[in-house]
Amino acid sequence: MHSLAQEIQGFSKNRLKKQCTHVTTVTGRRLVERRKEGADGEVEEEVEEEEGCGFVEDKSLDLQVGIVRPHLLLASQDAAHDTDALHRCKVSHVLNVAYGVSNPFPDQLVYKTVHILDLPDTDITSYLEECSVFIDQAREQNGVVLVHCNAGVSRSSSVLIGYLMLKEGLTFDEAYKQVKKARPSICPNPGFYRQLQGYKP
């Protein structure tokens, strides 16, 4: 009967499965690390990973700004961080309803940050009063408010739908259609959608 030590000694490294590790560097380069046998023992080899088909990361900026009302705009964080877009739209106030997105121009614009998580069980209606007060204050100062989250798709659109229902007495369907017309890419998450459908200001 073989002892474990004999089995280990008789084991050939060639029988080991070749492993490779996919690595993305901080600069975005994709490498494949492979271990191989060299003259001086085992060495690591790094090879640039070939781009295959499948998921393609969209690195283009979304600078589309939807005009819900002359004083009320909807966009992504890209537009909120773009000085040209802000100047072009005469933005004076920014309502940031994202989580972990900075306000880059505090000396030039009036900011309000409301940290909202884009999760179906987040109570979106509990934030509407606070957000509406800021929008109305900006309007009283003849300002233009840009409302944004990360993508300008779920949280910020939900806040604006709720605002129109709360302040203008629109039904959910009317408010949704008007915000969708201003920015066609909007898509409140299912939880926000249901909450706003049942919202009674």
Report how far apart the first and last C-alpha atoms of the chain are (Å, whole number). Answer: 81
Burial tier of 57 (Cβ tally within 10 Å: 0-12, 13-18, 19+): exposed
Q: How far apart are CA 49 and CA 97, in angstroms?
A: 37
Q: Which two tokens stand for residue 120?
A: 């179906």
Q: Residue 73 carries which side chain, given as an amino acid letter?
A: L
Q: Residue 2 carries which side chain, given as an amino acid letter?
A: H
State yes or no: is 131 an active-site residue: no
Q: How far apart are CA 19 and CA 108, in angstroms?
A: 53
Q: Which residue has the tokens 């492993």?
A: 19
Whole-number Cα distances in Å, 4 to 1, 7, 11, 12, 31: 10, 5, 11, 14, 37
56 φ/ψ sector (left φ>0, alpha ψ -120 to 50, else beta): beta
> Active site residue: 20, 89, 149, 187, which one?
149
Nearest to 152 by CA among 129, 183, 131: 183
Q: Please list the active-site residues.
A: 149
